[in-house]
Structure 1
């Protein structure tokens, strides 16, 4: 494998896959390792500012690249800022796919469910009051910035509270992957069987939904209820909370600023999140039981790759269809085998 520290000319990429994990935990690092195992990433470019454990962008002759940002908002923002402004890659025509694991609302999906994101909403840019000191009549300690009560819309913001992903790319990605054969496991089946209703206790599927970003790994039905209302408020009722993770609003802020500078095409960005754990314990369980003891990180990583790779493959194999923008609905369906 060749390693390059400098490039004379910015390399155009057709697709850039963004993953978050590549650390010591064997299950979590599958998020990036499955892409490496399934691809032909025989070239590397070292990029200053990427994580020490993943300091290079890997790419292949098809124009597909892979970067690992590190987990959490700060890592995602720092890594993508370094990449976008490194000068090593020309990303103006690149399709960018963020693919990773997430918590999932049992009312919206199950372990292994793959969710194409329509809205990313930041859950941590807020006022917060400890639950032991809630005013009378309040059902939550989370209040939007500048608001005077839970559920009220914000009066001011920070500029990264909500992002809408391009609907045309979203629909194309969903059409291509709605019938993908998803992985499942006995462990996941046993865990989901503890939930009394579908879709939590049903088989995983591919769907569209909204995600909430927050560095806090929270758990419990009351906080899930808060997330549902939070997403609804910030999207004007258009979004439905489905998954939760730590990076996506930071990632999108970097990419949207890059788009404003003409470095990235925001209409070519998609986010795929797959349920690795429920955002609450089953009925009768303890909220803290959801903190990693009952997760399926490996299953989620597998399905993120299975679903995401279908879109990547279609883009590179039919580049003449995708090159000038997301194709129309009929063109974005894979032709049947001959």
Structure 2
């Protein structure tokens, strides 16, 4: 699956730039924290720098979309961050940007280091995950900006080689400890699916829905090869959900499994549209911090923008779609649209902090 973060490899230097539980809805409260952890935070965390908004990016160009605009910045080095991105950048509005490094391991390690650092007080912080992704042409197009309500881990499945699947199966993927691809698994890992605070997601969407998004001639040409909407239409801000996992895929059949898997894990409530690499790992790290009241999970928003299609157009092979993904021209508008779609939320929070300080305002 893809954070289309690896788009940077061709053009950027990373250094530079039992009973099955229900869907985790940890944003509703964090009463599970132990007293020892809370006491430790009372002694240390409250003395750190307060942050109103922490923007989480995964690689240089995603972060640069924000760093080029909201400065000047003060760099705060935090032990345990990525060696490629060792500092958090904060401005006078108490908006900060952190870059985790790509993939599950980097994302979780960085967010754990960040949230348990004594250098920040993150108890009232809003977290905005801001990254590019592959997009399902049935839900959006290159350049589209999607606010997610569900995060689904595509990689936590059993898998058979598709050439060896039983008769009657349409995929080699199935839930762990199930008998067929259509079964919902017991959520034994407890990271398979997360539900974000819908009030925050709706607020973010309302603030950004009419934003004019960036586009490119190359992206327009790529869209024109699709015969259906919204793939062949200009990008807009939308609401749909993210599938995450370290494997970058391309294909109609595997893309269909991403749709099906999202429906299975969300009990039919979620709609897959973006495929990225880090989000479930990032959220689980935030959840660990929330368990000792260092962060508030009701304040996490996820914005993904489409940099390339997750499957081919009619007449194109899946291999061609994957190997020539950069030809779709979505990288530049996708990185730009992280700022265009995300900044209305950021600015509303910092400008009207008295309304946001104690939680998402009801308007």
TM-score (norm 1): 0.91
Corresponding residue of 2:252: 221
The answer to whether 1:294 aligns with 2:327 is yes
Q: Where do residues 39-188 of structure 1 align in structure 2 (5 Å cutoff)?
A: 39-188=70-219
Separation in 2 of the partners of 1:8 and 1:150?
A: 47
Structure 1 residue ranges, 4+ long, deviating more than 4 angstroms after superposition? none
3-state DSSP of counterpart to 2:150:
strand
2:361 to 327, 330, 333: 327
Deviation digits for residues 130-165 of structure 1 (CA, Å, limit 9, x no counterpart): 011111111100010111011111034211000001
**Count of matched residue pairs:** 316
Separation in 1 of the partners of 2:320 and 2:308?
A: 10
How far has the Cα of 1:294 moved from its partner?
3.0
How far has the Cα of 1:8 moved from its partner?
11
How far has the Cα of 1:293 moved from its partner?
3.3
Structure with more of its chain in helix, by fraction: 2
Deviation digits for residues 215-259 of structure 1 (CA, Å, limit 9, x no counterpart): 100110101110111000000000011110000000000111211
Separation in 1 of the partners of 2:345 and 2:158?
A: 39
Structure 2: tracts of 5 or more residues without a match: 1-44
**RCO (CA 8 Å, sep 6+): is it higher in 1 or 2?**
2
Q: Say what the alpha-carbon RMSD is for the aligned residues.
A: 1.2
TM-score (norm 2): 0.85
2:233 to 194, 202, 223: 202
Corresponding residue of 1:241: 272
Contact 1:146-1:156 within 8 A present in 2 as well: no
The answer to whether 1:19 aligns with 2:57 is yes
Separation in 1 of the partners of 2:336 and 2:217?
A: 15
The answer to whether 1:306 aligns with 2:337 is no
How far has the Cα of 1:64 moved from its partner?
0.5
Single out whichever of 100-109 and 148-157 deviates more from structure 2.
148-157
How far has the Cα of 1:290 moved from its partner?
2.6
Separation in 2 of the partners of 1:293 and 1:46?
A: 33
